[in-house]
Structure 1
């Protein structure tokens, strides 16, 4: 298939209807702060912006490909979407075949999330059904003064120490934690024990996987006295006991041009707060999202504004575009590394 695709879709950034998720730790701020179309419920926890994972599918909401899913577009136009090296860039997941390899979401942490850990690709491939591993990164959109992030084990914590802490209901005592600020970025490789605390709004980029092992749930029970299931043995098996604490980096809002936040073998993450810069046009797709403010996107003769909470996927076939945040705004750009194995 040629990357030029058919003329009707050349240069066509894709916007999608968000997939909303409700859980016990959600709230209302995805609507209040990010403009997501919530119902009347009080527990909206996640807005999956760009996703191709089983029944969870991003559906195009405008343009020539309207109502097509991301999975359908990948199946019919793999090179148009991912570029000439698309076969390397598709996430291979054993018998389940390939999928778009990245997932972008926003989270409203109205309550502290469970302590959890994700496997790497090798472990996840052996699961039934097989899946991708899950390496992820968080950008802190908003935080309360007392909000905490738990990221990584304290120095010297081994498997036995972690297991004993979990058994005693004191897992937090062996976790590294800190008070985050808006603009912080935290990289969470597979195997990192972690939890997001109460009062956070997070933009998360990750591998397209929903494989999570719950290690500890703060001794919570529901109205009937039932605790949520834990996955203690798999968690202990996949946890990284050598990496130590995961510490944040921060976006500099006064810096002009792109700031590199994460570069790993699964994805790249950059931020832009000042300046007009080119994006796309290099034979690779890129995901854009605006955690706050307004960003002007120009593709050819078409100019549009991306507002707080809006996201786009620019296919590899698109010509080079230009992006420029307005004052006090921020753009996050996510893509695949040069070599995706």
Structure 2
């Protein structure tokens, strides 16, 4: 293992996932090297999940697993014991199932520890008129949901939200949700792949079989609270040569956006945790410690704590997302 005091930003091999609802959008819109003519729905950019662990793509650590790098010390991970997040690009070529993630106890009416999965979506591309499901309609009761799962009428109870490119949707654990066709998004979530599928549009897989549903488990995990604040408005930050906004912040993750109209020099904030940068358009170059590394559209970069002093040079028309596990007061509230 190279000296972790001077470890440079790293890029990992994407893990491509074929899905019944996938397509070719990751290749056509992000330049991903996915198999052609296959329904690829997800590109896992950074994952510490067992059996789906990211591997360093290039450089002196090429071939190392994320856990090997991450556990090398606090100069890499800050104070995180294990990699706490999962990063994905998702291409919804067809409608996804209506589902819920664990992390909420309906009986206790409160979040629970364990295999929790709170997530957010940055909408990269969506056709006009596209909607997502987030939550249930006002006044819907748990028994209504149970009955609808049995009759196949669950879509009638769901809350539909119009979306556009550039929107951010926040989906806490326990909130019923679904994504529709012609949507390309970037997802930041807690490190979990747990899904309780509630409705799947009565479609069959390649073997002619219906995919399993998990209505009983979903009933116990559903957060029935109604609200209208799933699409998060951006919060403008100070002038740093780029249009800089906070897009979402919670105790698990924060996501900031930088839009650079012209060539721009940026400096990462000094934080006590790792940071992750994903380039949506354009390209960037890191420079520091007599090293330089360039990254382009569609790539996700892991920035260890030891590399926060690196400078970033972004070409014109670059758009990037920066995320991290925040200290909410010092990282989010105080700068405002």
Partner of 1:293: 282
Partner of 1:101: 84
Whole-angstrom CA distance in 2 between matches of 1:206 and 1:224? 31
Partner of 2:300: 311
Partner of 1:93: none
Partner of 2:334: none
Partner of 1:54: 50
Report the TM-score when normalising by structure 1: 0.85
Is 1:149 the counterpart of 2:132? The answer is yes
Moved more, 329-338 or 252-261: 252-261
Instruction: Tell me how far 1:41 sits from its aligned partner.
Output: 3.7
Instruction: Tell me how far 1:251 sits from its aligned partner.
Output: 5.3
Is 1:29 the counterpart of 2:18? The answer is no
Partner of 1:323: 312
Q: What do the CA deviations read for 1:253-282 (whole angstroms, capped 9, x no partner)?
A: 998443111111111111111354321543
Instruction: Tell me how far 1:8 sits from its aligned partner.
Output: 7.1
Q: What are the within-5 Å matches in structure 2 for residues 167-206 of structure 1?
A: 167-206=150-189
Whole-angstrom CA distance in 2 between matches of 1:289 and 1:324? 14
Unaligned runs of 5+ in 2: 107-112, 329-336
Whole-angstrom CA distance in 1 between matches of 2:269 and 2:52? 26
Q: 259, 276, 280: which one pairs with 1:273? A: 259
Is 1:68 the counterpart of 2:54? The answer is no
Partner of 1:15: 11
Q: How many pairs are equivalent?
A: 317
Q: What do the CA deviations read for 1:107-151 (whole angstroms, capped 9, x no partner)?
A: 11000100111111889xxxxxx9531010000011112422111
Report the TM-score when normalising by structure 2: 0.86
Instruction: Tell me how far 1:57 sits from its aligned partner.
Output: 1.1
**Measured at CA, do residues 335 and 294 of structure 1 come closer, stay the same or move farther in structure 2, by a change above 3 Å?**
same
Q: 313, 321, 326: which one pairs with 1:332? A: 321
**Secondary structure in structure 2 of the residue aligned to 1:186:** strand
Whole-angstrom CA distance in 2 between matches of 1:113 and 1:161? 22
- Asked if 2 retains the 8 angstrom alpha-carbon contact of 1:271 and 1:332, the reply is yes
- Asked if 2 retains the 8 angstrom alpha-carbon contact of 1:295 and 1:330, the reply is no
**Measured at CA, do residues 153 and 332 of structure 1 come closer, stay the same or move farther in structure 2, by a change above 3 Å?**
same
Is 1:259 the counterpart of 2:245? The answer is yes
**Secondary structure in structure 2 of the residue aligned to 1:54:** coil
**Secondary structure in structure 2 of the residue aligned to 1:17:** coil
Q: What do the CA deviations read for 1:178-223 (whole angstroms, capped 9, x no partner)?
A: 2311100001110110011100111000011001110111122235
Q: 193, 197, 201: which one pairs with 1:214? A: 197
**Secondary structure in structure 1 of the residue aligned to 2:257:** strand
Unaligned runs of 5+ in 1: 91-98, 124-129
Instruction: Tell me how far 1:306 sits from its aligned partner.
Output: 2.5
Whole-angstrom CA distance in 1 between matches of 2:182 and 2:132? 10
RMSD: 2.6
Whole-angstrom CA distance in 1 between matches of 2:138 and 2:178? 17
- Asked if 2 retains the 8 angstrom alpha-carbon contact of 1:291 and 1:331, the reply is yes
